[in-house]
Structure 1
Amino acid sequence: MEPVSETFTVDLRRLTVLRELQRRGSLARTAEALHLTPSAVSQQIAALSREIGAPLTERDGRGVRLTGQARVLLAHADEIAAQLERARADLAAYGSGGRGSVTIGCFSSGILGLLPGVLRGLAERLPHVRVDVVEAEPPNLFTALDAGQVDVAVAVDFAATPPHTDRRYSRDDLLTDVLDLVVPAGHRLAEREVVALRELATETWITGDARSCVGAITRAVCATSGFTPDIRHAVDDWAALAALVEAGAGVALMPRLVRPLYAHRRLAVPATEGEQPSRNIFAAVRTGSEGDPVLAAVREELRASAAELTTLSA
């Protein structure tokens, strides 16, 4: 391979593929996330390698791993992406941000509980800006954010979410959403004001897929309480989950954001002993885009809606 030249060109689309390979760890998972074939991902990485004159991957058993040169390039990739976002934001600010479009990616219960207030506020502030909402969770949500398919990501902190130290994103912590324990109205613990979660170790549980935020958090909360939940029903639709609990099919943790979906049902909602289970909800934009006036308005409305919800649930 040719030595690294002092003047070389980097194709930003190929750089995005390399960043995704770093996140996903394999060609197959990268291809799935970017809707490409593994062969196309390999070709993009090989082309980028030729552009910069340095190897970017090496064989690792049946897969590949990033080289030291790839990690050096990726350290600069964050700064390159951020600078491009700042240029985009400056151009948007020049035009005052009164027109255009913005796409918000958000998890399902956030769409139900948090976004209605945001959409109403944006309709008043920016009536000529088109706002689209896409339901998504990490890691796919952040792949879409990186690719520009969404402009604002609203997510829950859990294992699949980028860490706070990830320089690719500018974050706003929005609110702490309590997870309520819900049991059928005739349950043996329904009349109790306070219940220790470990008392439910032998119960049938209902929760979302293990890869979803509440599914992962439910499993973690139960593990902290000293047991592995017996999950018989994996349901990601909150109204359906509440209906199953009401029918006596099991117990569950449900986010307070979707309380309107279960407040009218024949359920008991005892407090849990000790600190209430909860999850942190945050918003993120690409680093460098903070000056975009439309994105700034979206972030302000998200903070205002979160503050109102926090007050109502206090």
Structure 2
Amino acid sequence: MEPLSPAFTIDLRRLTVLRELRRRGSLARTAEALHLTPSAVSQQLASLARDLGVPLTERDGRGVRLTGQAKVLLAHADVIAAQLERARVDLAAYAEGGRGTVTLGCFSSGILGLLPAALRGLRARLPELRVDVVEAEPPDLFTALDGGQVDVAVAVDFAAAPPSTDRRYSRSDLLTDVLDIALPPDHPLAGRAEVPLRELAGETWVVGNTLSCCGAVTRSVCAAAGFTPEIRHAVDDWAALAGLVEAGQGVALVPRLARSLYTHRNLTLRPAEGTPPSRNVFVAVRKGSEGDPVLTAVREELGEAAAQLG
């Protein structure tokens, strides 16, 4: 390739494709996340490489991996993205705040247990602000956040979520959501004040799929207790899960954020013995946008709602 020119420019859309490739790890998954074809992704990366005069990918078996130059560029890409967000915030602050639309992405039990109080507080605080809620989980939630389809992300820390050190985001913890054990009402352990998880090693389980936050957390909690759960029913709907437990089809771990769904169900909820299994819930915005007064208000109301639950 030709050497770098002092006047070289970067197409930010192509830079977004490179950032997504870092996140997804393959051309096919990057294309799916960005609603492009793998061929289009390859063309965007090739064009960016030509613009810069450096190789950005190299073959790795049937796939590709990032070159050293690509990793150098990505470090700058995170800074560029944050600076663009600061520019957007400054322009928004110039105009009158508290208007327009904010899109908030959140996982299902967070929508159920956390968002109602936060949205009520936000409506009282900024009555002219429109808030659109989208149900989503990592990694798709953060792809949407990166692309601007979502302005605020509320998520659970698990393998598919970005690490707390990810420089692309400004994040803060909201609450620790405890998971209780759901048992059929006639289960032999239903009379216990607390239930040792290890004693459920021989039970059949109702668990969400491996890509969902609660599905992943349940599997890791059982592994920490020393066993792999026998999963007979895989459902991601909390009401459906409750119905299966009520029908005696298995046991489950359920988050307290979704507890309102179980109030009228004929099943038993018990805390786990010892340190209760839990998951960390956090809120994130794009780095550089943390000064946006509207996004600040959204984050503060989420914090207030989380404190009430705590």
Q: What's the TM-score, normalizing by structure 2? A: 0.99
Question: Match for residue 166 of structure 1?
Answer: 166
Question: Match for residue 129 of structure 2?
Answer: 129
Deviation, 1:118, is 1.4
Deviation, 1:107, is 0.3
Question: Match for residue 3 of structure 2?
Answer: 3
Question: Match for residue 157 of structure 2?
Answer: 157
> Which amino acid letter does the alignment assign opposite residue 104 of structure 2?
I
Q: Does 1:199 align with 2:199?
A: yes
Deviations 1:103-124 (A, max 9, x none): 0000000000111111111111
> Which amino acid letter does the alignment assign opposite residue 157 of structure 2?
D
Q: Secondary structure of the residue that 1:181 maps to in structure 2?
A: strand
Q: Does 1:69 align with 2:69?
A: yes
Contact kept? 1:86, 1:289, Cα under 8 Å:
yes
Distance 1:268 1:99 in 2: 45
> Which amino acid letter does the alignment assign opposite residue 26 of structure 2?
S
> Which amino acid letter does the alignment assign opposite residue 71 of structure 1?
K
Deviation, 1:256, is 0.1
> Which amino acid letter does the alignment assign opposite residue 91 of structure 1?
L
Contact kept? 1:96, 1:293, Cα under 8 Å:
no
Deviation, 1:269, is 1.6
Contact kept? 1:184, 1:245, Cα under 8 Å:
yes
Question: Match for residue 270 of structure 2?
Answer: 270
> Which amino acid letter does the alignment assign opposite residue 261 of structure 2?
L
Distance 2:222 2:64 in 1: 36
Deviations 1:147-197 (A, max 9, x none): 000000000000001001100000010000000101011111111112111
Q: Secondary structure of the residue that 2:174 maps to in structure 1?
A: strand
Deviates more, 1:5-14 or 1:91-100: 91-100
Deviation, 1:293, is 1.1
Percent identity over the alignment?
76
Distance 1:271 1:144 in 2: 35
Q: Secondary structure of the residue that 2:167 maps to in structure 1?
A: coil
Deviation, 1:134, is 0.5
Q: What's the TM-score, normalizing by structure 1? A: 0.97
Deviation, 1:98, is 2.2
> Which amino acid letter does the alignment assign opposite residue 10 of structure 1?
I
Q: Secondary structure of the residue that 1:269 maps to in structure 2?
A: strand
Question: Match for residue 80 of structure 1?
Answer: 80
Deviations 1:267-292 (A, max 9, x none): 11222111000000000000000111
Distance 1:53 1:246 in 2: 62
Question: Match for residue 24 of structure 1?
Answer: 24
Q: Any stretches of 5+ residues in structure 1 without a counterpart?
A: none
> Which amino acid letter does the alignment assign opposite residue 214 of structure 1?
C
- Number of aligned residue pairs: give it: 310
Q: Any stretches of 5+ residues in structure 2 without a counterpart?
A: none
Structure 1 moving runs of 4+ over 3 Å: none
